[in-house]
Amino acid sequence: MKSNMLYPRVDAKEANRIRLKFVENFDSGIEFSEAAFDTALNGPRTFPPTGGVRIGEASLRELRQVCIESLDMPPTSSNLSATAFFDMAMGRVLYQAGEKSRGEFGDPHVWDFLTLILLPDLAAKRMAMGSSSRAKAQSFQARVTGGARRHVFQRLWKRWIIFGPEIVEDGRLTEDDYGVIIEHIVTNRPRLAQKVAGAILESGYSGQVRREYSHIFMRRLQQTSGVVQLPEDDHEYLRDVVDAIHTQTVEALERNK
């Protein structure tokens, strides 16, 4: 795909209507709709009035098929849970699809199209595997709202963008690890995020102690970043800062025993 490939959008009002219908029909089953796909793809405001090549219908259908096939493949590791395998497979496909259209994949309305129009059945499948609860309507809807931190697909794509294939495919970072790092480090700080991920993995902690380590670490990192600059291009300096915070965090854990 070309670097300026444009992806379709769903405007906010229409996305909200479809989202409410998605939530309403979730328990009875969500399916891909050819009619909804055709209508959304050919809408007058589907693509922005800017320069660029619009992705074609065939390419979108191919993306959908690749997503489906990736989930049908056997996991590369027997240690992966069903949810971890789903996230790994979908994240990889979305990362590859958006590699040359990163700006497009940063648009929440593009994610509304991908999730509510192109891949609604896969979104529902993933949500049914997790702890999504319709009892918490706002949180449930956030899972299919483009731009939301907990978006069912966008958060997977962000993992690959921030941490890179090597760390993500390693499979050792947990859902909690990803959440605490991404929540406190913006997308344009990938080197810092990768070094923090390394500190968590190398800490040797697991379970509740690992969660405590991560939260203490991130609080101290935020305090440090408010006092000194953390330039992305200075690898040694970032490493020294992360090492120092690691030592402080371990000491804090020891004191809290």
Q: Quick check: is 166 in a domain?
A: no
For the chain, the 3-state helix, strand and coil shares in percent, each to the nearest 5, are 65, 0, 35
Answer with the residue of higher pLDDT: 139 or 193: 193
Predicted confidence at residue 79, as pLDDT, reads 72
Binned at pLDDT 50, 70 and 90, residue 80 comes out as: confident
Do 143 and 177 fall within a single domain? Answer: no
Give per-residue pLDDT as tens, 171-220.
899 989 998 888 877 667 888 899 999 999 999 999 999 999 999 999 99
pTM (predicted TM-score):
0.87
Do 137 and 61 fall within a single domain? Answer: yes
Do 143 and 217 fall within a single domain? Answer: no
Q: Quick check: is 47 in a domain?
A: yes
Q: Quick check: is 14 in a domain?
A: yes
Q: Identify the CA nearest to 6 among candidates 70, 102, 95.
A: 102
pLDDT of 158 higher than 80: yes
Q: Quick check: is 164 in a domain?
A: no
pLDDT of 104 higher than 50: yes
Q: How far is CA 79 from CA 58, 76, 160, 172, 205, in A?
A: 35, 9, 20, 10, 18
Give per-residue pLDDT as tens, 49-64.
877 899 999 999 999 9
Do 57 and 112 fall within a single domain? Answer: yes
Query: Using an 8 Å Cβ cutoff, are 100 and 3 in contact?
Result: yes
Predicted confidence at residue 2, as pLDDT, reads 45
Binned at pLDDT 50, 70 and 90, residue 1 comes out as: very low
Instruction: Give the bridge partners for 54, in sequence order.
Output: 6
Q: Quick check: is 165 in a domain?
A: no
Do 9 and 132 fall within a single domain? Answer: yes
> Where do we find the tokens 């690959």?
160
Binned at pLDDT 50, 70 and 90, residue 10 comes out as: very high
**C-beta neighbour count of 160 within 10 angstroms:** 21
Structure tokens belonging to residue 114: 């991908």
Do 142 and 180 fall within a single domain? Answer: no
pLDDT of 156 higher than 90: yes
3 state DSSP class of 202 = helix
> Where do we find the tokens 């209507």?
17
Do 75 and 148 fall within a single domain? Answer: yes
Do 180 and 122 fall within a single domain? Answer: no
Query: Using an 8 Å Cβ cutoff, are 10 and 117 in contact?
Result: yes
Do 228 and 127 fall within a single domain? Answer: no
Do 75 and 188 fall within a single domain? Answer: no
Number of domains forming the structure of the chain: 2
The widest CA-to-CA distance across the chain, in whole angstroms, is 62
Q: Quick check: is 48 in a domain?
A: yes
Residue ranges making up the domain that contains 99 = 1-158
Predicted confidence at residue 42, as pLDDT, reads 93
pLDDT of 3 higher than 60: no
At position 211, the amino acid (one-letter code) is R
Range scoring the smallest mean pLDDT among 19-23, 73-77, 218-222: 73-77
Sign of CA dihedral 176, 183, 149, 63: negative
Query: Using an 8 Å Cβ cutoff, are 138 and 132 in contact?
Result: no
Domain end call among 125, 158, 191: 158
Do 193 and 146 fall within a single domain? Answer: no
Domain end call among 126, 158, 190: 158
Mean pLDDT of the chain: 89
At position 73, the amino acid (one-letter code) is M
Predicted confidence at residue 232, as pLDDT, reads 80
Predicted confidence at residue 225, as pLDDT, reads 76
Domain end call among 100, 127, 158: 158
Do 6 and 121 fall within a single domain? Answer: yes
Q: Quick check: is 235 in a domain?
A: yes
Q: Quick check: is 167 in a domain?
A: no
Predicted confidence at residue 49, as pLDDT, reads 86
Average pLDDT of span 145-159: 94
49: CB partners within 8 A, 6+ apart:
none
Sign of CA dihedral 151, 154, 158, 159: positive
Query: Using an 8 Å Cβ cutoff, are 184 and 197 in contact?
Result: no
Give per-residue pLDDT as tens, 219-253.
999 888 775 677 887 888 899 999 999 999 999 99
pLDDT of 163 higher than 80: yes
What CA–CA distance (Å, rounded) separates 174 from 28?
31
